[in-house]
Structure 1
Amino acid sequence: MSFSAFGDKFTRHTGITRLMEDMGEGLRTPGAVMLGGGNPAQIPEMNAYFQQLLQEMQQDGSLTEALCNYDGPRGKSTLLVSLARLLRDELGWEVSPQNIALTNGSQSAFFYLFNLYAGRRADGSRKRVLFPLAPEYLGYADAGLDEELFVSVRPDIEMLPHGQFKYHVDFEHLHITDDIGLVCVSRPTNPTGNVITDEELMKLDVLAQQHDVPLLIDNAYGVPFPGIIFSEARPLWNPNIILCMSLSKLGLPGTRCGIVIADEKIINAISNMNGIISLAPGSIGPAIAHQMIQRGDLLRLSETVIRPFYQQRVNETIALIRRYLPEDRCLIHKPEGAIFLWLWFKDLPITTEVLYQRLKKRGVLMVPGHFFFPGLEHEWPHTHQCMRMNYVPDSDIIEKGIAILAGEIAKAHREG
């Protein structure tokens, strides 16, 4: 028995598969220190809110209605209407319900959109997805039906005080060539916590429009919700922008609800793909989000509960890192958002893949950096010097992991 070309490609072991396997294995292993996966925090106030809301939805029948009925292929119409109104009222965007579609998680949306705009065309030509700032999200790397679907550009690196640094778009070396079908950037960025500046985002938008290609912005952690962003950043949308959002980082990853805001032509395409692949998106997450909007809670909780929780947690984690790892051993990307820290072990005598394997043997799970550079044209040592660390767990668990990490780094330096 053999698979098709599609089967061969999508049954290969990949970085995102390993990450999810590590997460599942770690959750089953007592004492494992889970600093690798992307599961959001269990914020007590948010959990209590969701429990109360679901009880009220059960009592008024809206939960049963969501469970027992299909929605249309664009997703739950009540959420499309209430979200469009929220975006118009809060941000002034000219958005209607026809500009919004839901998907079964953002990962599904990226798969749809990458293959909608890149790959082989009917005329025989090929288009690719351009990431203007690597490193980028691990989950993008294997989402193309065609091979070599992605191309990325190395960043400019700005060194900052206190052992921190920041990536910037290198516009001098950024070229949107004829074979680019889509430009994609995440803001804030998984894995680094980087937030490209308003100026950088506007430049990317202008370049994309000049070359008649869409600009896809992955806003899974951004504003207006869930608001896990610690720097000044103005949200941006126009008909040439495809904005992807999610309910996961509100604390609802199990609902698998992605949100696409785009031109009506793109939304119609997403709707058609939803219908073919999954009939319709799931209903529970959209029903919860609609209730949160109606009650005025979605933006309120993002601003007053979710953002402060993560900002405090990231500050505590940086203090722990510095207790065990000085600046000459570990540089930290400036944390501007998302739920990760990006660590740069500039002079480490082993690769971070080797470090990952050593940590895993000691029950600590992190993610080596080389997975986060899809489509980079030339080998770059920097890709093997970085690791992504989730700062969500409780501080005692994080400290245990950091102590083991520091010990393995010291051992690697001793061994040379």
Structure 2
Amino acid sequence: MNFSKFGQKFTQPTGISQLMDDLGDALKSDQPINMLGGGNPARIDAVNEVFLETYRALGNDDANNTNELNSTALTSIGNYSNPQGDAAFIDALVGFFNRHYDWNLSADNVALTNGSQNAFFYLFNLFGGAFNDVNNETVDKSILLPLAPEYIGYSDVHVEGQHFAAVLPHIDTVTHDGEEGFFKYRVDFEALENLPALIEGRIGAICCSRPTNPTGNVLTDEEMSRLSDIAKRYDVPLIIDNAYGMPFPNIIYSDAHLTWDDNTILCFSLSKIGLPGVRTGIIVAAPEVIAAVSALNAVVNLSPTRFGAAIATPLLQDDRIKQLSDNEIKPFYQQQATTAVRLLKEAMGDYPMMIHKPEGAIFLWLWFKDLQITTDELYEILKKKGTLIVPSQHFFPGVDVTQYPHAHECIRMSIAADEQTLIDGIKVIGEVVRALYNGK
């Protein structure tokens, strides 16, 4: 079977396809798997109870409770929305953001997508790739990632080629909860502002995740303000991936604030509040961006899915989504991070291991400096022992990792699993890594 260049690009092995294949294989395996590698959120009972209650109410919400065939649930799954997305959900989002942030949004500032991965496929192809300049000559523009490592799912979304420029971080040694053994990535603004692609007009947008997937790093308010100023200076949008951030699921432990203006594109998701299967992404942006996303939706999807919108709309209207995020989801992951850090320190003892300071998201980022093998090879060893993690080299789009040893020395480990899985998985990681450092 012969595929086009488009087909060849999207059927070749990629980091994200490996991640999702391993996640799927683990879920259907008849052997016990320590699932520390996927991005699936935890199942939190108090949160799931609210989702189930809301789901049930969708089928019984007509005025006299006499005709379930006219319920919101059936209306949602039985009709298309327009390409921008479910109108009631968009109105609820506008009300929620204006109520909490006073952004003065209208429905023209919001579009829905089938998950945030779908949103980044649109945005990175809108702002990265071939452009016509003022002389009608072709200019290739890239998406600038100001702090690599970044999300594995960004790497392969461009329709043709890869269009990324990335800046490697400053690495600072820090303490966490009064303990040593931690580090933190910070934006190297000197390298960023001297990047030839930026100076020469070959950047189409700047993008960062906050908190960062894979590291759990939270860019400071000062770093975000500087990035916003740079984006405006070069007349490109600043795209912020809030999949784990404010205001839902709000898995952020540091002091951080969320801002928006018409040069900022904010991306949200219902996945990490516990609804990954409903595939609902949210974009908040200037009207011209929303119009472009809606046009893409019409071609690619006809319209976004409505089921997630139906569940989330009442949760936005009465602020339960924020209450769940603040009171259940964030504290759960903060405790998971504390537990995982303790287990890792016990498993590794005095062996070389640094942990990126846990500031948010649902992962820990571990650095095994000068390990005798790459973490790609470590991944294969751990998989054979029933423990899944994600190796680091796939998180550096725009970087020549052959020239950057640090990109082969880290792993991403999920903390969303139950405590026994954390115990069992970290025990395996400790045994294997200690043996490698011992030359065995």
TM-score band by shorter chain is: over 0.9
Query: What letter matches 1:169 in structure 2?
Result: V
Provide the C-alpha distance between the structure 2 equivalents of 1:82 and 1:28, rounded to a whole number of angstroms. Answer: 37
Alignment pair present for 1:155 and 2:169 = yes
Provide the C-alpha distance between the structure 1 equivalents of 2:409 and 2:93, rounded to a whole number of angstroms. Answer: 41
Query: What letter matches 2:19 in structure 1?
Result: L
Query: What letter matches 1:170 in structure 2?
Result: D
Verify the 8 A CA contact 1:101 1:260 in the aligned structure 2: yes
- CA positional deviation for 1:313: 1.0
- CA positional deviation for 1:148: 3.2
Match of 2:66 in 1: none
Verify the 8 A CA contact 1:118 1:126 in the aligned structure 2: yes
Alignment pair present for 1:209 and 2:232 = yes
Query: What letter matches 2:104 in structure 1?
Result: E
Alignment pair present for 1:355 and 2:362 = no
Verify the 8 A CA contact 2:348 2:434 in the aligned structure 1: no
Verify the 8 A CA contact 2:156 2:162 in the aligned structure 1: no
Provide the C-alpha distance between the structure 1 equivalents of 2:282 and 2:321, rounded to a whole number of angstroms. Answer: 15
Q: 1:41 aligns to what SS in structure 2?
A: coil
- CA positional deviation for 1:94: 2.3
1:125 to 139, 142, 145: 139
Provide the C-alpha distance between the structure 2 equivalents of 1:306 and 1:402, rounded to a whole number of angstroms. Answer: 23
1:169 to 167, 174, 187: 187
Alignment of 1:231-270 (within 5 A): 231-270=254-293
The alignment's TM-score, normalised by the length of structure 1, stands at: 0.98
Q: 1:415 aligns to what SS in structure 2?
A: coil
Match of 1:37 in 2: 38
Provide the C-alpha distance between the structure 1 equivalents of 2:255 and 2:350, rounded to a whole number of angstroms. Answer: 26
- CA positional deviation for 1:327: 5.6
Provide the C-alpha distance between the structure 2 equivalents of 1:294 and 1:186, rounded to a whole number of angstroms. Answer: 26
Provide the C-alpha distance between the structure 2 equivalents of 1:5 and 1:296, rounded to a whole number of angstroms. Answer: 47
Match of 1:402 in 2: 426
Query: What letter matches 2:110 in structure 1?
Result: I
Provide the C-alpha distance between the structure 2 equivalents of 1:42 and 1:348, rounded to a whole number of angstroms. Answer: 34
Provide the C-alpha distance between the structure 1 equivalents of 2:351 and 2:268, rounded to a whole number of angstroms. Answer: 37
Q: CA RMSD in A?
A: 1.1
Verify the 8 A CA contact 1:320 1:399 in the aligned structure 2: yes
User: Which moves more between the two structures, 220-229 or 259-268?
Assistant: 220-229
2:368 to 324, 334, 345: 345
Provide the C-alpha distance between the structure 1 equivalents of 2:400 and 2:13, rounded to a whole number of angstroms. Answer: 22
Match of 1:82 in 2: 92
Match of 1:53 in 2: 54
Alignment pair present for 1:387 and 2:411 = yes
Q: 1:347 aligns to what SS in structure 2?
A: coil
- CA positional deviation for 1:48: 1.1
Match of 2:389 in 1: 366
User: Which moves more between the two structures, 396-405 or 204-213?
Assistant: 396-405
Verify the 8 A CA contact 2:96 2:317 in the aligned structure 1: no
| Deviations, residues 337-367 of structure 1 (Å, cap 9, x unaligned) | 1000000001311111111110001010000
Verify the 8 A CA contact 2:376 2:391 in the aligned structure 1: yes
Match of 1:4 in 2: 4
Seen in structure 2, the aligned counterparts of structure 1 residues 256 and 279 have a Cα distance that, compared at 3 Å, is same
Verify the 8 A CA contact 1:152 1:377 in the aligned structure 2: no
Verify the 8 A CA contact 1:226 1:302 in the aligned structure 2: yes
Match of 2:78 in 1: 68
Match of 1:19 in 2: 19
The number of residues matched between the two structures is 416
Verify the 8 A CA contact 2:351 2:434 in the aligned structure 1: no
- CA positional deviation for 1:336: 0.6
Gaps of 5+ in 1: none
User: Which moves more between the two structures, 174-183 or 320-329?
Assistant: 320-329
User: Which moves more between the two structures, 101-110 or 304-313?
Assistant: 304-313
Verify the 8 A CA contact 2:155 2:162 in the aligned structure 1: no
Verify the 8 A CA contact 1:36 1:367 in the aligned structure 2: yes
Query: What letter matches 2:46 in structure 1?
Result: E
Deviation beyond 3 Å, 4+ runs, structure 1 = none
- CA positional deviation for 1:414: 2.1
Match of 2:216 in 1: 193
- CA positional deviation for 1:328: 4.1
Query: What letter matches 1:41 in structure 2?
Result: A
Provide the C-alpha distance between the structure 2 equivalents of 1:384 and 1:150, rounded to a whole number of angstroms. Answer: 19
Gaps of 5+ in 2: 62-70
Provide the C-alpha distance between the structure 2 equivalents of 1:21 and 1:303, rounded to a whole number of angstroms. Answer: 32
Match of 2:245 in 1: 222
| Deviations, residues 152-173 of structure 1 (Å, cap 9, x unaligned) | 1100011013200000000010
- CA positional deviation for 1:408: 0.6
Query: What letter matches 1:7 in structure 2?
Result: G
Verify the 8 A CA contact 1:192 1:388 in the aligned structure 2: yes
Q: 1:163 aligns to what SS in structure 2?
A: strand
| Deviations, residues 296-334 of structure 1 (Å, cap 9, x unaligned) | 211111111111111111111111111111364211000
- CA positional deviation for 1:120: 1.0
Seen in structure 2, the aligned counterparts of structure 1 residues 249 and 267 have a Cα distance that, compared at 3 Å, is same
Provide the C-alpha distance between the structure 1 equivalents of 2:124 and 2:162, rounded to a whole number of angstroms. Answer: 12
Verify the 8 A CA contact 1:330 1:343 in the aligned structure 2: yes
Q: 2:111 aligns to what SS in structure 1?
A: strand
Provide the C-alpha distance between the structure 2 equivalents of 1:327 and 1:74, rounded to a whole number of angstroms. Answer: 54
Verify the 8 A CA contact 1:191 1:340 in the aligned structure 2: yes
Q: 1:158 aligns to what SS in structure 2?
A: strand
Alignment pair present for 1:115 and 2:125 = yes
Provide the C-alpha distance between the structure 2 equivalents of 1:114 and 1:70, rounded to a whole number of angstroms. Answer: 26
Alignment pair present for 1:184 and 2:207 = yes
User: Which moves more between the two structures, 224-233 or 293-302?
Assistant: 293-302
